[in-house]
Each structure stands twice: as C-alpha cells, then as structure tokens.
Structure 1
Amino acid sequence: MAGGDLGAGLHRVGRLSARIGAPVVAQGLTAGTSLLLQVIAARSLGLAEFGAFALFLALLVSAAAVYTGYVGDSLAVLDRHDPRTRSALATSALAAILLCGATAAGAALVVSGGDAALVIAYPAMLACWLCKESVRRLLIARLQFGELVGNDCVYLLGTLATLGVFRWLAGVGLLALFTAMAVGAIGAVATGLARLPRRERSGLRPATGGLRRVASFAAWRSAQAGLRPAALLAARVLVANLLSLAAVGMLEAARLVVAPLQVVINGAGSYLLPRFASAESEGMARTGRLTTRFVWILSVGTLGAGGVLVALSGPVGALLTGTAVDPLLVLGWVVYLTVWGAGLPYVTEVVARRHSRAVFTARLVDALIGLLLVAVLLATGRGVTAVPWAMALGGVYAVWRVRRLAHDTRRTS
C-alpha cells in the first residue's frame, strides 16, 4: 500500500513537472538572455562601463517588477474583459510606461554624464521592454505557455542578432546593448500580438472610471513585487558603502552561479498565479494540496540542485565571470533561494485571493529584517559572505507569515 502511495505521489509530481515545463522554459529564456547580456557586458566593457550597465539593469529589473505587479498580475487576477477594468488597465499601463521612461531618462543623464545617445536609448529600451512584458503577461493570463516560449525566443534571437551586427560594425558598448534589447523587445511585442485573439487586443481605450478598483488590488501587489529587487539593490548599496565595489562584484558573481535556480522558481510562480486565480474565479477551494506540493518541490529541488552548484562553483564562476567564486557565498544564495521558493506558493495563493496588502506587509517586514541584519553584520566586520544568509533569515519570517495567511484565507474566502 505504501509503495502504491509513493508511486502515485511520484506520478503526480511528474505530471506537475511536465505542466510547468513551458513556464520554466520561458522564464529560462528571459533570465538566460539577461545572464548572457551580463556576461557579454562583463567581457566587452571596461570596469566603469560595466558598473554603469549593472546600475541600469538593476533599475530595469525594479521597474519591470513594479510594472508587472500592477499591470501584469492584474491581467491574471482581475476580470480583464470587464470594460471599466480594461480601460483602467490601459490607463495604468500608459502612465507607468511614461513615468518609468522619464525616470530612466533622468538616471541615464546622471550615470552617463549627459551622453545624449544613452539618454534617448535607455528610456526607449525600457519602454519597449515594458510593452513586451504586457504581452507576456497576457499570454500567461491565457495559459498560452507554448506561445510564450516562442515569444521569448524571438526576443533572444532579435537581441543577439542586433548585438552581432554592432560587434561586426563598431564593437559592443552601452548603446549597442540597449539598442539590441529594444530591437528584441519590439520583435517580441509584434510576435505576441499576432498570437493573441482580437478580443485581447481591442477595446484598449484609456479611462479613469475603474482605476480605484484596479488600484485596490494592484497597488499593494506592485509594491510587494518591487520589494525583493529593491531590497537586493539596497543590500548592494550597503556592501558598496561599508565594504567596496569589489565586494559587490564578489556578491554578484556568486549570485550568477545560482541564476538557474531562480529561473525555475520564477517559472513556477508564472504557472501558479493564473492557476490559483482561475480556481478562485471558478469557486474551487481545494488549492491547499497544490500549494503544499509546490512548497516541497521548490524547497527540496532548490537545495538539491544548489548543492551541485556549490560543488561546481569554482569552474562555473570562472566561466561566467572570469574570477573565482567563494563556495560559502554561493551556498548562502542557495539558502536564500530555498527560503524564497518555500514561500512563493503561499504568496501566489494569497495574492490570487486579492489579499495583496497582507502579502506586502509580510514582505516588507522580511526586507527590513534582512537589511537590518546585513547592516549590522557588515558593520561588525563579518564580510560580504554574510549578506545572502542575513537576507534569508528575513525571508523565514515571510514564509511563516504568508503560510498562516494562506491557511486563514482558505477558511474565509
């Protein structure tokens, strides 16, 4: 009997793994393209230019997190075909793209020292990127993960092809990188729109009537989505100020080694949110088993695969960055991602029930605890190795809190 239960359990895990394959592949393509761009930048730019690229990329990631939290997740959770909601989402998307573009122009002006080409190219690329994310999130909301993979392939190929042209003509610099990313994003937008039905592409008339309803969910969700990249950015700033820029480089090199684990976790999140949202809209209350299953899959899988990456951190780190990577620092990032993976299924379940404010509060406390620990440990001479471990300790609180929220809302939703 026990053997039969074990076999049935393994069969269910296998079916789930097959179903989340496309979301993971799509997330892998996106993250893999970003990783490849970072490697190309590290090997093509000077140290100062690469530092500027890292800052520009961090701003892009933060803007994308807030934007997809507000607009993208609303497409999956709210009724995007309701005229008022649809108009409010169109207004929100347009306003966010304009605001992010203006912020990007200001950042480019400061970081580049007034380089006119970069002041134009960077905000234009960011706007194209956010448009690409809008199309991606529509495909995710419709559970069209196969089409999503094809869409992300277009972005990858368009970006690399444009970079190849620049390398052949004049070499790779910041302008070439941003232009290539913009071209890839435009190609992905065109491809994605062609794969969406007319119903999803029509009736996008900006209006303010439904903004309050959308904001009641999306404002807290976007704030919560932006917390993690903002906290990581703040941790980098602390390391740079209390230690050195070289220490930031060590931290980033170790993080790149565990990037594949982050891809899988993000892919699982892309799969879970629309599934939970669909279950809620259909009145299906039995989501607890799915959540528990994914908690175990992500936690155990991250630890197991992370152990392999720790063992291979020397050659993998040298391949990606050209320098040695501290295995203990890599292990710290593995633990950080394990805690993140353990909480993600609970977070998506609670967000699908539109309790995004409660999730934001839990994540905010998580970020503050982690950053406080980072500051204390760095100030007392613990070194950069302590950073991911401290951030992981903050995450333990969030896992405990969102797990309670998930259980409580199962009874009250």
Structure 2
Amino acid sequence: MKRKALGAVIAQAAQAGIGLLLQILVARLLGIDEYGRFAILYGVVIVATAVVTGLIGDSLVVLERSQRAIRAGLQAMLLITSAVLAAGAFLTAWLTGFSDALEAAIFAVALAAFAVEEIVRRLLIAHMSFVRTAATDISGFIVALAIILIVNATGTLSLGVFLAGIAAGQIVATVIGWLLVPRSDRHLVGLRGATIAPVWRYGMWRGLQQVLRPSLFTVLRLLVLAGAGLTAVGLLEAARTYTSPLILVIGGLSSFLFVRFADQHKAGTGGSVREADRVVGFLLIGTVLMSVVAVALVPWVSPLLFDVEVDPLAVVAWLAYGMSVAIVTPYGALGAVGGKQVAVFLIRLSDTVLAIIAVIVMLAWGAEPSTLPFALAVASMLGGLGLRWLVVADGRTERPPR
C-alpha cells in the first residue's frame, strides 16, 4: 500500500511538474507580463479540468462503471461538459477582449483536450496505475515541449502558439493513456440508454467542490490584477508556482486516499477518522520540512526559474496555504466517499467565500499582494476543522448500538 501511495505522489508530481515547467517556459520565453496573462488562462483551464474531475472522474471511481447504462452516462456527461466548457471559454476570452478570435479558439481546444485527457488519467488512477498515469502525462509534455521549442527557434513564438503546443500534447497523451488503460476497462459503449441521473447526482457536488480551489486562485489573480496590475499577478503566481511541489505531494496523496476510501466503502469496511488523522500528521510534518528548504533556496532558485527573485514573504504565505490543504484533504476525501459530498461541498464553499472576503478587505486596507495567501490559509484551515467534525459526527451516527 505504501508503494501505491508513493506511486500516487509520483503521478501527481509528473502532472504538477509539467505544469510548473510550462509556466517557467512562458516566463522565460515570453516575459513576466505574458506569464501573468497565461496564468489567468491556465487558471481557467485548471478550473474547467476540476469540474470534469469531480463531475465525471470521481463518479467513475465511486459508481459502478461496469454497468452499461452508467458507463454510457459517464461518456455522455464528458461530451456535454467538455463541449460546453470549451464554448464558454472561447466566448469569454474573445468577447472580453482578453484574446483575439484565433487565440481564443486555440484556448478552447486546449481546454477540451485537457478535459478528455483528465478522464483517461482518472481511469488509470481508478486502477491505481499511477506509473502509467505519469507516463501518459510525460508523453504529452514531450510533444508540447518539442512544438514550443521548434517554433521558438524560428522567433515566432506567441502565447497562442504556446497554447496550441499544449493542446497537441494533451491529445497525444489522451491516445497513449487510453492504450495504457487495462483491457477490461478500455472500451466505449453506445450512448443509447445512457443513465445520466446517477452521475449528475453524485458528480455535481464533487464537481462543484473540485472547482472551488482553482476558482479561488482565479478570483485572487483577477483581484490582484485590478488592484495592483499584471506584473503583480505574475510575481504572486511565480511564488505560488515555486511552492507547487508541496501541493503536488498533497494532491497525489489525495488521489490515492479517494480511491482507497472508495474501495473500502464499496467493500463495506469504510475509511477511519484515525487513518485520516495519521495522514494529516504525516502531511504536516512533511510540509514543515519542505517549507524550510523552500524558503532557504528562494534567493538562488527563483531567479533561475523565473528570471526574477520572488518575494520570500509570498513564498511563506503560499507555504502556509499548503499546510492548510494538508489539513483539509484527507477529511474531505473520507466524507465524500461516505455519501456526505453535499456537506463537504458546503463546508468548502463557506471557507472559499470567507477567503475571498478576507482578500477583498485586505486589498481595501492596502495590503501587499504577497500577504494575501495568508488569508486563504486561515480560511482553509477553518474548513479543515469543519470537515473533521463532519466525519467524526458521521462515524458516531453510524456506530451500531451496543
């Protein structure tokens, strides 16, 4: 089991590391201002992917996808969701003037490619095939990197071309990942007779919850953009990206815990609060150790990665947020697989709204953008405490009478 947990971290590391490298490439090749613009577009992609992950990805883990009607419902939901999200992304980017029509269209294709590839990843994760998941992501990144570097050598690299390279990489990763899915699960069914209702009933709340964190980041970027400008967005995003290895470890364990708790629930054993407590303790210790190293290396590593030195205070603030995520993740996974997905969502929604209000107040009082992640951290920690109370109370309710 420890090997599978390590594999989950490796898979998440591959995905997050690729995201980190892409952002570094933008900052180095296109400049910090274009990096700020890319951060906003990429943030929208992450939000859309989170919707698909919760709505369809978590549903295929928890529901019986071996049933033809359920499988057809999952497929139909993926087609509908990816098409709607891509169309919305195109219209928003174009009509707001943030991108021209061509760049907006490329952005929409990239978003749809991310959505479909994510579901292939979730199929692999459902089988705990984490090494294959990492191989899928890496193969797509190699294709994207090749396109980006070739075009950059011609001196014609733009953000639109960068997005096109990413889209191509995601399409290749989707094909390779599908071929790596175990044969028993590597098949499509006709959409006739699709049962969408169970997918929607469970996945809607998971999708809403999954979108909260990336949406929070997107709102934060937009608030900083309005209050301090595009360069401030780029610098704050650079600090967040610098601390992303911490979040990727937590995210990898989150994927592992969700599948583990779901399998235990199907088997009738259920996950335990004590197990979640142990995971939280492990994550907090690891967070502290990684934070010390990260802060010490800021003066040397950040200029190498982003061509600018990020604010150490912003790094500490994002590390504090990472610590809060360590508190939230295990309890959220345990509650969701136990049928408490609505309550989990409401708690997470509450701490997200609290974080946004705190950020607005801080900006109104003239706070530096580098301090804003502290507000996110405090709100998230409160949410984690609420989630723990939820799963403890649920465990007491389900305890058989003596």
TM range (shorter): over 0.9
Distance 1:87 1:62, change over 3 A: same
Report the more deviating stretch, 345-354 or 156-165. Answer: 156-165
Report the more deviating stretch, 147-156 or 168-177. Answer: 168-177
TM-score between both structures, scaled by the size of structure 2: 0.93
Counterparts of 1:165-204 in structure 2, within 5 Å, are 165-204=150-189
Distance 1:244 1:269, change over 3 A: same
Instruction: Tell me which amino acid in the other structure corresponds to 2:37.
Output: A
Instruction: Tell me which amino acid in the other structure corresponds to 2:77.
Output: S
Structure 1 runs not aligned, ≥5 long = 1-14
Which residue in 2 is equivalent to 1:387? 372
| CA positional deviation for 1:337 | 0.7
Counterparts of 1:319-398 in structure 2, within 5 Å, are 319-398=304-383
1:288 and 2:273 matched: yes
Distance 1:327 1:119, change over 3 A: closer
- Which of 41, 59, 72 matches 2:26? 41
Instruction: Tell me which amino acid in the other structure corresponds to 2:160.
Output: L
CA distance in 1, matches of 2:364, 2:263: 47
Report the more deviating stretch, 53-62 or 358-367. Answer: 53-62
Q: Deviations over 1:271-316 (max 9, x none)?
A: 1110000000001135333212211111111122112111212222
CA distance in 2, matches of 1:114, 1:261: 32
Check the 8 A contact 1:88/1:207 in 2, yes or no. no
Which residue in 2 is equivalent to 1:32? 17
CA distance in 1, matches of 2:280, 2:78: 32
Check the 8 A contact 1:240/1:247 in 2, yes or no. yes
Q: Deviations over 1:315-349 (max 9, x none)?
A: 22212222222222211111111011111000111
1:78 and 2:35 matched: no
Which residue in 2 is equivalent to 1:7? none
Which residue in 2 is equivalent to 1:246? 231
| CA positional deviation for 1:112 | 6.0
CA distance in 2, matches of 1:207, 1:62: 30
Aligned residues: 398
| CA positional deviation for 1:164 | 2.6
Check the 8 A contact 1:112/1:118 in 2, yes or no. no
Instruction: Tell me which amino acid in the other structure corresponds to 2:177.
Output: G
Instruction: Tell me which amino acid in the other structure corresponds to 1:86.
Output: R
CA distance in 2, matches of 1:175, 1:237: 21
1:261 and 2:261 matched: no
Check the 8 A contact 2:86/2:109 in 1, yes or no. yes
1:307 and 2:300 matched: no
Which residue in 2 is equivalent to 1:66? 51
| CA positional deviation for 1:248 | 2.1
Report the more deviating stretch, 201-210 or 55-64. Answer: 201-210
Check the 8 A contact 1:52/1:111 in 2, yes or no. no
Report the aligned-residue RMSD: 1.9
| CA positional deviation for 1:219 | 0.6
Instruction: Tell me which amino acid in the other structure corresponds to 1:255.
Output: R
CA distance in 2, matches of 1:206, 1:274: 26
| CA positional deviation for 1:156 | 1.9
| CA positional deviation for 1:410 | 2.6
Counterpart secondary structure, 1:385: helix
Structure 2 runs not aligned, ≥5 long = none
1:404 and 2:375 matched: no
Instruction: Tell me which amino acid in the other structure corresponds to 1:394.
Output: A
Identical counterparts, % of pairs: 33
Instruction: Tell me which amino acid in the other structure corresponds to 2:341.
Output: S
Q: Deviations over 1:11-53 (max 9, x none)?
A: xxxx73x432221111111111111111111122255543332
Higher normalized contact order (CA 8 Å, seq sep 6+, divided by chain length): 2
Distance 1:211 1:316, change over 3 A: same
Distance 1:63 1:123, change over 3 A: same
1:130 and 2:131 matched: no
Counterpart secondary structure, 2:369: coil
- Which of 217, 235, 238 matches 2:202? 217
